[in-house]
């Protein structure tokens, strides 16, 4: 048992060295506003929604049955449902770190006790493997997801540690990680898990506990990946990134969540071990993936079949898989890269992905979720029964729960910890990366205590006020990210005086000092790269950090499949309402849809509302599109 | 055992009543030319390729092991590999009907004997089910494919009967069909197979043997479909068309091959039983599917995940599944509709699908096959090892064999019988639907014997000569199909005299009389319907019945992902070579592929060859596209 001093700061990630230091739960509080509302919904609804579903369908009681020896033949759900319980525990831990709640605290402790009771004496804990009548431990590394589940247990333990508690699940995590060191360490088997996750989890658990063996084991898993230890499968070894070593790959490929979790873990290993080659490989993979394999929403993964990245520029809007969990994994990777390098492009992508991919998943009421996030809904989805488990691939509106239900709990843990992505510190400066109503207070290592309050109606409006509450007596810096889309037109005022928005504000701050960043909110007409075949001849509209969309409930025709847009026509704009002019196409349904002549079209004009993409599908069944066909000269 | 007189005419389909009478193997012979070359390749290479693969990997010897009781635990391949042996037997039977070959005859008889030896006393024959250590018969109707396999046995028996032999496999078919009558007939279980096929097979086997119970059982299976007898699956009941009765459906949906086989069987039942409502439902399904869910190549099925039709107008070229077997199933359905109605639109789609979808599957050497037929290959495929079984979903060039290897044997049976789609007869007239070098001789019921010889370089050239060899002494008719694309510009000359090409030629024919149809072969620039989002802003080029494509081996840049096409520029044209002018786009790879500004592009012009789509991928790894981006005004 380790007795090293615990690192109680840093949120989900705290590298040994980094350009920027992450802030911990005690350093940032969100107070209402856009993100505060969502964190409250998460606390009030989403957590208990997940808890109740897993209780009802037996995923939590798998642990009880494992503890009392009755789980064989009576296991509920597929073989990686343990991970959903762990992600819920992680979400609860972050939520308890955000604000204490007696009831939640009790539920958390009780659930942890049930998990810990199922742990075997040697540290192994999994409800699907290893007992008489079950498959043997580690007998199906390709598909068994054992280490994937362990990773989520360890991440839940990290959340508990970083919230200031070294109790129940943390101890279980230590026993489990020690067991893994025995089984898969330098003297153990040369193997990896088919679903990366243990790498990133072990690295952080190592950081949070101060136990170097855990980081070393993460390194071993990263290095073994790509050496062909997994058996071939139909979709090729790239499905689980086992076709080429991480440090030799140039782009993310295969199953998107797997690829992004692996890259996150590889970067953690590279950062803490000073492995510049490996870190540069991950940076390059991010660059090429963002340039060629990412949806405008930040969504990643084009294939339904294997949940995979497709080829470069293969980004079909209507068959976008763009899994919620892949968006979350992308944010995890970008956050690590931001901490490492300080480059705001990573925070830009995080913002895009949080607002336009991840936030699209939960329904307004917090009781339904998109698993995949299409950019074009061709036919109206069905409103799923709130009592039924859903198959992920069906064209429904947001569903309450899934057979593979990774997304709801992943959304829960992300919402409960999203404020930890808002800001970082250096020795004598504070960097604000994401905007929302929040109090930030931190000890700058060389300057002293700095505390600020941020107030904004962002992302609906472009003004962000940061008011200094407490300041060091010496010179300190505060910088506010200017998103790439706001490069032209952003202004920054400090106590009413203009300041270069792209420069840090550095001075001896006084309480009451106010930094006001104004970002240009005019709607922008966005064209896709010509290599993105699937959206040729269309445009999207963005406003501020939000990708907008056209939803059929706002159209007289009731369908988005039959309109075109004149990008020369003026876009009218007001708070929360961007309106464009579209024309119905009225192309009819000929007997054969390919011909030498172009259809004549009827002239008609509708002025229609665009809505934020993340909000679509909250007004009943609808069709929707992000990319709107551009009127051609002949039409 | 039935003792009814055998129907020895009619090829794969011979309805009890129909507008057009199909011709049998003794009535049509292909002699060289485009189709003759392919039938020879099939006879010489494809049949033995399939035979040798199945021998090597144990799919044929499953039957030996079933016969000697050793197959349990030693079964080779997935649970429906029996069907591949049956499709090979069907192909062999048609080939033997086309021309006798001593060696093939011996191999056929020997293979039949091995199958028959595995049949159980009650008529059941399946190598994967029903023995100790195997799953029980009919215990997994959703996925077991038992009746699907039986259907292919019965179709192979039909091929043998229609080639004039009532031997080995035909007897096995009778015993099997009688068993099915017991198990699934009016007094049997209310169930259907997860993969339709038994319906179309039983109907035809009933026609070929004259046994009405088999058609009645086909009817029962068709009527039960859509009543929810199959257990729900992730992709929804429409995957196997069990969500709505056939007669209530308006479009084909779900798994494409399943949907098309089912529709074919339903039409057979409707035709022979005078069920106009059911027939009209199938016609409507065909119409809506062709108008909204069919690729320009005739390919059907947009989804890799569930091998399914997508929504209306969801036709991505790069993720086209467009399975070879779905094309074959589409030809089966269209042929039945053509026989029923005489409407040439069905022959048009057959031609399109045969030339541009099915023929794309086999490699020039007959030893490799495409399972799926993409319309846009973004990255160069790998040349698969000629020794290795392939997974169907990987981006490879044509592969020798697959784990699910339905396509090679389906291609083989289609090529061996393709000449039977060339022509039909009525009481006193001959209708020629497909063009190729062939001799056709038939007894017109009221007019007498008519025999003609067809000579043509079609589809490369547009001239087709039909010379009368023998003619009845009374007036008779000959009609030649004018494809829809040739409506304007087709000419017909009879002995040098102009004749309306859209009218039947009717007269007292003399030996030597010559009908010359000339179809306009200028390349046509084809635009997609505006609802087909995935190919907006592109055009395809067709020449005659062939869809052309751009292949990277013909481009200076070596990639098709970076060109645009000026549809106003002249298309130059010569025998087998259509050339267009394209411009490279040179759009670069920006860090983020969505922006307010359009890239400037370099001006450069290349004159490049287009090649027939079916021929692509025969010159080594390449990228390819059917739909070519149109130069925009700004570019």
Query: How far apart are the CA of A451 and the nearest CA of chain B, in angstroms?
Result: 35
What distance in Å separates the CA atoms of residue B67 and residue B115, rounded to the nearest whole number?
9
What distance in Å separates the CA atoms of residue A241 and residue A258, rounded to the nearest whole number?
8
Give the pLDDT score at A253: 97
Q: Do B528 and A593 touch (CB under 8 A)?
A: yes
Give the pLDDT score at B360: 98
Q: Consecutive 10-residue runs of chain B (635 residues): their mean pLDDT?
A: 55 94 95 96 98 97 97 95 98 96 98 98 97 96 97 98 96 98 97 98 97 98 96 90 97 98 98 97 98 98 92 94 97 98 98 98 97 95 88 79 95 98 98 98 95 97 97 97 96 97 97 98 94 95 96 92 84 79 79 80 80 96 96 62
Nearest-by-Cβ selection for A534 from B316, B540, B595: B316
User: Residue A108 in 3-state DSSP?
Assistant: helix
Name the residue in chain B with its Cα closest to that of A378: B311
Q: Do B529 and A633 touch (CB under 8 A)?
A: no
Residues of A whose CB is below 8 A from B585:
530-531
Give the pLDDT score at A5: 54
Ranked by mean pLDDT, the top range of A43-52, A523-532, B228-237 is A43-52
**DSSP string computed for B582-616:** EEE------SSSEESSPPP-----EEEEEEEGGGT
Give the pLDDT score at B110: 98
Q: Nearest 5°: phi and psi at A524?
A: -115, 135
Name the residue in chain B with its Cα closest to that of A528: B594
Q: Do B533 and A376 touch (CB under 8 A)?
A: yes
Query: How far apart are the CA of B114 and the nearest CA of chain A, in angstroms?
Result: 31
Q: Do A234 and B527 touch (CB under 8 A)?
A: no
Q: Do A596 and B524 touch (CB under 8 A)?
A: yes
State the burial class of residue A319 (Cβ atoms within 10 Å of its Cβ: 0-12, 13-18, 19+). buried
Q: Do A529 and B287 touch (CB under 8 A)?
A: no
B72-131 residue pLDDT tens? 999 999 999 999 999 999 999 999 999 999 999 999 999 999 999 999 999 999 999 999
Q: Nearest 5°: phi and psi at B558?
A: 75, 10
What distance in Å separates the CA atoms of residue A336 and residue B234, rounded to the nearest whole number?
36
Mutate to test the interface with A, among B295, B540, B592 (most CBs of A within 10 A): B592
What DSSP state is assigned to residue A246?
A: G
Integer CA distances (angstroms), B152 to A405, B269, B518, in order: 40, 18, 39
Q: Nearest 5°: phi and psi at B581?
A: -100, 125
Residues of B whose CB is below 8 A from A287:
591
Give the pLDDT score at A597: 77
Percent of chain A residues topping a pLDDT of 70: 96
**DSSP string computed for B301-324:** ---SSS-B--STT---STT----H
CA A227, distance to chain mean position in Å, is 28
- Which of A584, A556, A579 shows the shortest CA–CA distance to A569? A579
Name the residue in chain A with its Cα closest to that of B560: A531
B103 Cβ neighbours under 8 A, 6+ residues apart: none
Check whether A2 has a pLDDT greater than 50: no
A555-605 residue pLDDT tens? 988 889 888 888 788 888 766 688 888 888 767 778 999 988 765 555 788
∠ CA B152-B204-B113, nearest 5°, is 45
Q: Do B526 and A594 touch (CB under 8 A)?
A: yes
Cis peptide before A536 (omega within 30 of 0): no
**Better-scored residue on pLDDT, A35 or B382:** A35
- DSSP-assigned beta bridge partners for residue B612: B548
Residues of B whose CB is below 8 A from A590:
291, 529
Integer CA distances (angstroms), B66 to A63, A630, B135, B405, in order: 44, 62, 14, 21
Give the pLDDT score at B588: 77
Q: Are A268 and A22 in contact (CB under 8 A)?
A: no
Check whether A91 has a pLDDT greater than 70: yes
pLDDT band (50, 70, 90) for residue A386 = confident
What distance in Å separates the CA atoms of residue A202 and residue A212, rounded to the nearest whole number?
10
- DSSP-assigned beta bridge partners for residue A453: A439, A467
Nearest-by-Cβ selection for B378 from A311, A525, A587: A311
User: Residue B336 in 3-state DSSP?
Assistant: helix
Query: What ranges make up the beta strands (E) of A428-520?
Result: 429-432, 438-444, 448-456, 463-470, 476-480, 491-494, 497-499, 505-507, 514-518
B255 Cβ neighbours under 8 A, 6+ residues apart: B195, B239, B240, B241, B301, B306, B307, B308
A469 Cβ neighbours under 8 A, 6+ residues apart: A439, A441, A451, A452, A453, A511
Mutate to test the interface with B, among A320, A530, A534, A624 (most CBs of B within 10 A): A530
What distance in Å separates the CA atoms of residue A177 and residue B218, rounded to the nearest whole number?
60
- Which of A522, A365, A511 shows the shortest CA–CA distance to A450? A511
Give the pLDDT score at A584: 80
Residues of B whose CB is below 8 A from A629:
530, 533, 536
> Tokens 């339903």 belong to which residue?
B266
Give the pLDDT score at B7: 61
Give the pLDDT score at B386: 87
- Which of A155, A150, A160 shows the shortest CA–CA distance to A127? A150
Q: Do A318 and B534 touch (CB under 8 A)?
A: yes
Pull the structure tokens for residue B159: 């091929």
Nearest-by-Cβ selection for A291 from B290, B392, B593: B593
Give the pLDDT score at B390: 85
**Better-scored residue on pLDDT, A588 or A228:** A228
Q: Are A266 and A246 in contact (CB under 8 A)?
A: yes
What distance in Å separates the CA atoms of residue B622 and residue B356, rounded to the nearest whole number?
18
Query: How far apart are the CA of B623 and the nearest CA of chain A, in angstroms?
Result: 12
Q: State the sign of the Cα–Cα–Cα–Cα dihedral B485, B489, B494, B498.
A: positive
Integer CA distances (angstroms), A117 to A65, A147, A563, B225, B248, in order: 10, 19, 59, 50, 55
Give the torsion through C-alpha atoms of A173, A174, A175, A181, to 10 deg.
110
Q: Which of A227-236, A369-378, A597-606, B47-56 has the lowest mean pLDDT?
A: A597-606
Give the pLDDT score at B393: 59
What distance in Å separates the CA atoms of residue A190 and residue A307, rounded to the nearest whole number?
27
Q: Do A598 and B527 touch (CB under 8 A)?
A: yes
Check whether A1 has a pLDDT greater than 50: no
What DSSP state is assigned to residue B131?
A: S
Beta-sheet pairing, B514-518 with B491-494: antiparallel
Q: Do B235 and A318 touch (CB under 8 A)?
A: no
- Which of A295, A291, A359, A296 shows the shortest CA–CA distance to A526? A296
User: Residue A411 in 3-state DSSP?
Assistant: helix
What distance in Å separates the CA atoms of residue A236 and residue A258, rounded to the nearest whole number?
14
B266-306 residue pLDDT tens? 999 999 999 999 999 999 999 999 999 999 999 999 998 89
Q: What mean pLDDT is predicted for residues A397-419? A: 96
Beta-sheet pairing, B401-402 with B389-390: parallel
- The ipTM is 0.90
Query: How far apart are the CA of B509 and the nearest CA of chain A, in angstroms?
Result: 37
Q: What mean pLDDT is predicted for residues A180-188? A: 97
Residues recorded for chain A? 635
Nearest-by-Cβ selection for B318 from A317, A533, A593: A533
Give the pLDDT score at B635: 39
Q: Are B237 and B243 in contact (CB under 8 A)?
A: yes
Beta-sheet pairing, A429-432 with A476-480: parallel
Residues of B whose CB is below 8 A from A537:
536-537
Give the pLDDT score at B604: 80
Give the pLDDT score at B394: 67
Give the pLDDT score at B207: 96
Provide the whole-model pTM: 0.93
**Better-scored residue on pLDDT, A104 or B562:** A104
Nearest-by-Cβ selection for B596 from A526, A562, A594: A526
Q: Do A533 and B629 touch (CB under 8 A)?
A: yes
B102 Cβ neighbours under 8 A, 6+ residues apart: none
Pull the structure tokens for residue B120: 């159980």
* Exposure on the CB side of residue B190, measured as CA atoms within 13 A: 6
Give the pLDDT score at A387: 87
Across the A:B interface, residue pairs with CB atoms under 8 Å apart total 183
What distance in Å separates the CA atoms of residue A425 and residue A442, rounded to the nearest whole number?
8
Helices (H) and strands (E) in chain A, counts: 14, 25
């Amino acid at each position: 048992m380790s007795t090293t001093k615990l690192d109680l700061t840093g949120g989900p990630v705290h590298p040994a060295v980094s350009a920027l230091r992450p802030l911990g739960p005690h350093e940032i509080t969100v107070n209402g506003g856009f993100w505060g509302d969502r964190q409250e919904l998460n606390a009030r609804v989403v957590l208990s929604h997940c808890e109740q579903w897993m209780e009802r369908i037996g995923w939590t009681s798998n642990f009880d049955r494992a503890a009392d020896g009755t789980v064989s033949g009576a296991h509920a759900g597929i073989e990686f449902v343990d991970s959903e319980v762990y992600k819920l525990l992680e979400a609860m831990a972050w939520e308890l770190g955000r604000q204490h709640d007696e009831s939640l605290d009790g539920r958390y402790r009780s659930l942890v006790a049930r998990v810990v009771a199922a742990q075997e004496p040697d540290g192994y804990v999994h409800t699907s493997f290893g007992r008489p009548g079950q498959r043997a431990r580690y007998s199906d590394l390709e598909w068994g997801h054992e280490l994937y589940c362990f990773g989520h247990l360890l991440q839940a333990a990290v959340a508990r540690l970083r919230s200031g508690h070294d109790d129940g699940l943390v101890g279980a995590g230590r026993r489990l990680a020690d067991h893994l060191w025995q089984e898969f360490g330098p003297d153990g088997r040369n193997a990896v898990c088919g679903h990366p996750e243990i790498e990133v989890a072990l690295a952080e658990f190592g950081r949070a506990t101060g136990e170097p063996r855990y980081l070393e084991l993460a390194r071993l898993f990263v290095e073994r990946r790509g050496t062909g230890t997994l058996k071939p499968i139909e979709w090729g070894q790239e499905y689980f990134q086992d076709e080429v070593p991480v440090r030799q790959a140039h782009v993310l490929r295969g199953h998107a969540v797997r690829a992004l979790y692996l890259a996150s873990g590889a970067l953690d290993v590279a950062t803490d071990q000073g492995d510049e080659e490996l870190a540069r490989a991950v940076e390059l993979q991010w660059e090429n993936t963002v340039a060629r394999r990412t949806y405008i929403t930040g969504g990643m993964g084009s294939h339904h079949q294997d949940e995979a990245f497709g080829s470069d520029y293969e980004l079909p809007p209507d068959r976008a898989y763009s899994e919620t969990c892949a968006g979350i994994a992308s944010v995890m990777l970008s956050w690590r890269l931001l901490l490492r390098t300080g480059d705001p492009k990573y925070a830009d992508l995080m913002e895009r992905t949080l607002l336009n991919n991840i936030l699209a998943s939960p329904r307004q009421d917090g009781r339904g979720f998109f698993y995949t996030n299409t950019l074009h809904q061709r036919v109206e989805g069905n409103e799923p029964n709130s009592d039924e488990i859903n198959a992920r691939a069906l064209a429904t509106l947001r569903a309450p729960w899934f057979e593979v239900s990774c997304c709801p709990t992943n959304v829960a843990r992300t919402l409960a910890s999203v404020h930890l992505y808002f800001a970082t510190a250096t020795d004598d400066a504070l960097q604000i990366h994401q905007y929302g109503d929040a109090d930030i207070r931190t000890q700058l290592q060389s300057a002293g205590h700095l505390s600020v309050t941020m107030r904004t109606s962002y992302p609906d409006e472009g003004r962000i006020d940061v008011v200094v509450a407490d300041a060091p007596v010496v010179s300190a810096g505060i910088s506010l990210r200017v998103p790439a889309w706001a490069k032209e037109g952003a202004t920054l005022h400090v106590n009413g005086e203009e300041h270069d928005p792209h420069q840090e504000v550095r001075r001896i701050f006084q309480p009451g000092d106010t930094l006001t960043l104004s970002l240009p909110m005019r709607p922008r007409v966005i064209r896709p790269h010509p290599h993105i075949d699937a959206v040729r001849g269309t445009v999207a509209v963005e406003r501020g950090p939000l990708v907008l969309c056209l939803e059929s409930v706002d159209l007289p025709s009731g369908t988005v499949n039959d309109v075109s847009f004149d990008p020369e026509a003026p876009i009218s704009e007001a708070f929360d309402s961007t309106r464009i002019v579209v024309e119905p196409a009225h192309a009819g349904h000929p007997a054969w849809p390919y011909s030498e002549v172009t259809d004549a079209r009827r002239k008609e004009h509708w002025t229609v509302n665009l809505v934020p993409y993340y909000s679509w599908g909250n007004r009943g069944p609808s069709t929707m599109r992000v990319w709107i066909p551009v009127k051609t000269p002949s039409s």
